[in-house]
Structures are given as C-alpha cells and as structure tokens.
Amino acid sequence: MKTNDTRINKRFHYSTDQAIEKPFNWKQMLRLLTYMKPYAKTILPIAIFGMILSTAVRLLAPVLIGSYALDNIIDHRDLNFLWIMVGIIAVMYLIAWIGNVLRIKYMNKVGQYIIFDLRKSLFDHIQRLSHRFFDQRSAGSILVRITNDVNSLQDLFTNGVINLLMDLLMLFGIIFILFMISPELTLAIMIVLPLMFFISTKLRRNIRRAWQDVRIKQSMINSHLNESIQGIRVTQSFTQEKENIGFFRNMNKHNYEAWRNATQKNALFRPFVEMSSAVGVAVLLWFGVYLIQADGGITIGQFFAFSLYLGMFWEPISRLGQVYNQLLVGMASSERIFEFLDEQPSVPESDKAIELGDIKGEIKFENVEFAYDEDRKALKGINLMMEPGQTVALVGHTGSGKTTIVNLISRFYDPTKGRVLIDGHDLRDIALNSLRHKVSIVLQDTFIFSGSIKDNIRFGRPGATDEEVIEAAKTVGAHPFISNLKNGYDTEVEERGNVLSVGERQLISFARCLLADPQILILDEATASIDTETEQLIQKALRRLLHGRTAIMIAHRLSTIREADNIFVLEQGNIIEHGNHEELMNQKGEYYGLVKAQFKVLNTG
C-alpha cells in the first residue's frame, strides 16, 4: 500500500504543481465562448430575452410593493387599489415565469449544441493527427479529454454564462435602485463590501486550487480505469488483481480527499456571504429606523422595499461565486481540450498536394534516415528500390528497422532526412488520402471493430456490395468458418473481435485488405499468428492477392518469404544484404545464418 501511495503522490504532485501555478487565462475563456457564436443570431437571443424579462420583473416588483403600493395603502387606506396591485404583481410574476421557461429551455439547447460541436471538433481533429501523437499518449488520457473534459463544460454553457449575465444585471440594477431610494442608507450598507471583497478573493484562490486538484485526480483515475479494463487479461494472467485493486483503492482515496477538500472550501463561501448579509441587515435596521424618524428621510414603504432589495442583493453575489467556480472548472478543461485542438500533425499535408491516379507501384528510398527520438535512430541513410509488381521481404532482428520502413511507405511518419518516392513522387507531395487509398496494410495485431463480420470486411471499401464482400472472404479462405457461424456474415463481433480466434481475425483482415484493392500491399508479420493449415490457405490466397501488386512482407517465419523477388536484410537501421532466397543462401551471410538458426529451432521443437 505504501508503494502505491508513493507512486500516486509523485504523479499527482507533479501534475498539480503544473496546473495550480497557471493564472486565469481570460483569452482562452473568450476562445471557449466563441463556440456560442453560431447560435448568437438564432436561439441565444431568445434565452437572453427570457433572462432580461424575468430579471426586470424581479427588479420592479419590490418598488411596486413597497415604495408605491404600501405607502399608498397606508396613506389612503384604499383596498381596491390593493387588489389592483395584487393583480398587476401576479401578471408580472407570470411574465417572469415565461421568461424563466424561455431562458432555461433555450440555454439548455445552446449548451447541448455547443457540447456536441466541441466534442465533434475534438474527435474530428484527433482522427487527423499523426501516429507520433498517439505514441506519446495513452488511450485513456485521450478518452478522458473527449468525454470528461468536454462534459465538464456542460454546466458552464447551460447555466454559467447566462447566470453570469443575469446576476450582473441583477446586481447593478439593485445597486442603482438602492441609490435611487436612499443614497445615505445604501452607502452605509456598502461599507461591508470592501472587507467582503478582500476575504472572498483569498477564499476563491483557495477554492480555485482545490477544484484544479479535483480535475487532475479525476483525469488520472479515469485514465487508470481505461488502462485497467484494456489490460484485464494481462492483469489476470500475472495474478495481479490484488495489486491492481490496491492501486485503484489508493487513487480513489486521493480522488475522494480532493473532492472533500474542494467542497469544504467551497462551502465556506455561502456562510461568509450570509454573515455579510446579516451585517447589512443590522445596519439597515439601525440606520433605516433613524431615517424613517428623521424629517425628509424615507417612508415605511421605501424601508420595506429597501429591505427586499437588500435580501436580493446577496443572492447574485453568492451565485457569482458559484459561476466563478464553473469558470475555473471550464478553464481547466478547456486548457486540456485546446491543447489537443492546437496539436498539429507531425505529417503535414501540402496545400499543393497531388492526387494519385493509377500507379505502377515503384517505391524508392533515397538516403533515408529516421529517428523516433534523438537517442534512437531507427534508419541510418538507407537506399533501396522496389520494382513495380515485385514482392519484397524485409528481414532482420527486432529493432532493425523493418516496421519503420513500412510506416514511412504509408506515411505514418516522415523521414528525418532523405526522401521516399512512389512512381517518382515524393510522398510529402502526395495527398494523404490519395496515398493511403493506394496502400493497404495487414498487421500481426489485427483490429476488429464492434459490429458484424460483413461490416468489418467492408471497412476496406464501404461501398462494396455483399457479393463482393463474400467473394473477398472466399479468396482468402475465410468463407468456410464465417458460414459455420450462427448468423454467418451478419454475426456480431464484440470489441476487438474477442469472440473470434486469432487466426480467424487475421483472415478477416486479409479479406478487408483484398476488398480495398490496393496497388501496394504491406504484410507486417501478417501470418505470425496463424496455424500451419491456415497458413497454407493464406499462402494460396496471397498468390492471387499479390498478383500485379507491389508487396512488402515482414516475417520472422522465413518460410513464408522464400518466393519473394527481393529480400532486404536489415541490422540496426542498415541494409546489409539483399537478393532473392537462393542468392542470399549462396552468399552464406546474415540471411543464411537466420534461416539455418530457425530451421534448427524448428527441428529441435
């Protein structure tokens, strides 16, 4: 447990320090409020009109009740006038009710539309970011920003903004009317405001820090939850459930303590406002009675109206504290959202990028270097040529640069130095969508989406017909096992295709790739998880699949690449040998050693 506490404290302490020292960024808050702009001429004015209507009634009612109605009734004892005033005030509050309905209904609409737009913008932007962005962040941290951080802005947009306008209008309106009724009494009551402002400023700073701490710990706990669920098989395989439960219990404890601290500090604000209100009432009673008795002072009706306004005066001040907290939460969340929205792809697309038509499939590397970071150079100035229609194999130990080469061909990354060309075009001059329509990749870790098997195969070409989907499955040998499923091609598979075996998922990925009809095909350890019988089916299907296409194969099982036209042997980012299987075996170099070592292992097994 102590170890978990230390780990959590280190992570939380670092993050909290980073967040707390940031000043309130009004520029960023204004940027956030620009998401209201599309609705500034449609539904937002209706909400503002409703707010003004209800606020105006609340400001006028005490004047009518006190200064006008009460004084006239006391002076003239006119009961008919009393009933008329009751009717007028009832109509006014009916109008206020209509105003509140308009405000609440249409601000909720505005808030929901903005959350929809913000989440859509964030998700759309993330879809276009490069692989390097995802290399540096966990899936959990990205998920938290799209869900929790966007959700935390909902209260700000549905209530916070309109309440801020309403409370400011109410506050200034009350102060104006109080001065109109009695400047002397108003100034006497306002003596308490400087002290209240000073103390509340200190209090709000502490409240702000406490809520920032809450946001950080919530983000951490949600990120860990996602990680734990994704890695549940690993956890259970290594019997680390107890350790994981303990770690989560400690994170949950820190989250609980952060919430308790924030709510306790937040709870101090309202009693402080009520204490200030009590001081104001005491001043009102003492000085107000004196003014009633003095010649040329105030009337009983004015005193009554003043007391009503004073009761209303502290209400917007108290709510402004709540709005301020909403702004703090909104700023903390918007910082994290805008950090992602401001992220630029590390693989930018040129404004003059060309669209590829039919291509031959010639691939050329010219003095290509690539590094994932300054301390790790994956490729060291390689030169290679892949002729159109050739099947090329990349061989080498783990970390030799094989996957880096295929990542550069798909332009998931750009070379640090040098150029990669397809049919003589630098990949940086080609539109990304155009390039990736020509290139398909099958990975060892096949990803299957939730949905039907048919939809997963059709993912390679959404417009394909059912007949084309079935034909692709037949070509790669997936049709027999799909047909034996209860609902055939309409069988629903769960997240990551967990109801299917590894080999079955791989066959579906082959069918998906075939249906996309690429002119360049990349197979990254694509047959590593398939049994010998299934591999024979795949090899047969590959002959048809590879015909007329440039294909790049990465395989540790060297038996799968014997028929490749050209084999490049890599070591520590350099090409040390190349040729076909027979030529490399005759050279008795690195490739020869790899084949012999693997053959020996297989025979021993």
Domains in the chain, number:
2
Residues 135, 20 share a domain: yes
> What CATH number is associated with residue 477?
3.40.50.300
DSSP string of 421-471, one letter each residue:
EETTEEGGGB-HHHHHHHEEEEESS----SEEHHHHHHTT-TT--HHHHHH
Q: State the number of CA atoms in the 13 A half-sphere of 239 facing the CB.
A: 0
Residues 414, 336 share a domain: no
Residues 453, 384 share a domain: yes
Residue 492's SS3 state is: strand
Work out the percent of the chain whose per-residue pLDDT is above 70: 83
Is the Cβ–Cβ distance between 261 and 12 less than 8 Å? no
Domain span including residue 476: 363-604
Residues 134, 232 share a domain: yes
**What is the rounded average pLDDT of the residues 298-324?**
77
Indicate whether 350 belongs to any domain: no
Q: Which long-range contacts (CB under 8 A, 24 or more apart) does 596-601 make?
A: 598/557, 598/558
Q: Which long-range contacts (CB under 8 A, 24 or more apart) does 342-350 make?
A: 343/125, 343/129, 343/133, 345/128, 345/129, 345/130, 345/133, 346/130, 346/132, 346/133, 346/413, 346/414, 347/130, 347/131, 347/411, 347/412, 347/413, 347/414, 347/432, 349/431, 349/432, 350/428, 350/429
> What CATH number is associated with residue 158?
1.20.1560.10
Name, of 4-8, 318-322, 592-596, the range with top average pLDDT.
592-596
Q: Give the pLDDT of residue 603.
A: 52
Indicate whether 356 belongs to any domain: no
Q: Give the pLDDT of residue 105.
A: 92
d(CA 95, CA 364): 75
Residues 388, 276 share a domain: no
Q: Which long-range contacts (CB under 8 A, 24 or more apart) does 498-501 make?
A: 500/448
Domain boundary among 341, 376, 408: 341
Question: Does the structure show a pLDDT above 50 at 356?
Answer: yes
Bridge partners (DSSP) listed for residue 521: 440, 551
* CA 469-473-477 angle, 5° bins: 170
Query: Lowest-confidence range among 57-66, 97-106, 403-412?
Result: 57-66
Residues 277, 216 share a domain: yes
Reported as a single tens digit per residue, the pLDDT across 137-184 is 766 677 777 877 888 788 788 888 888 888 889 889 988 888 888 888
Q: State the number of CA atoms in the 13 A half-sphere of 559 facing the CB.
A: 10
Q: Give the pLDDT of residue 336.
A: 79
Indicate whether 313 belongs to any domain: yes
Residues 544, 425 share a domain: yes
Indicate whether 256 belongs to any domain: yes
Reported as a single tens digit per residue, the pLDDT across 393-417 is 999 888 888 889 998 998 888 999 9
Report which DSSP code applies to 238: T
Q: Give the pLDDT of residue 329.
A: 73
Residues 414, 266 share a domain: no
| Average pLDDT of every residue of the chain | 80
Query: Lowest-confidence range among 17-31, 185-199, 345-359?
Result: 17-31
Q: State the number of CA atoms in the 13 A half-sphere of 443 facing the CB.
A: 8
Residue 290 corresponds to which tokens in the numbers above? 């004196």
Indicate whether 353 belongs to any domain: no
Residues 332, 222 share a domain: yes
Indicate whether 348 belongs to any domain: no
> pTM here?
0.69
Residues 398, 334 share a domain: no
Pairing of strands 550-554, 520-524: parallel
Domain boundary among 308, 341, 374: 341
Strands (E), 44-177: none
Indicate whether 46 belongs to any domain: yes
Indicate whether 385 belongs to any domain: yes
Residues 452, 325 share a domain: no
Question: Does the structure show a pLDDT above 70 at 386?
Answer: yes
Residues 264, 228 share a domain: yes
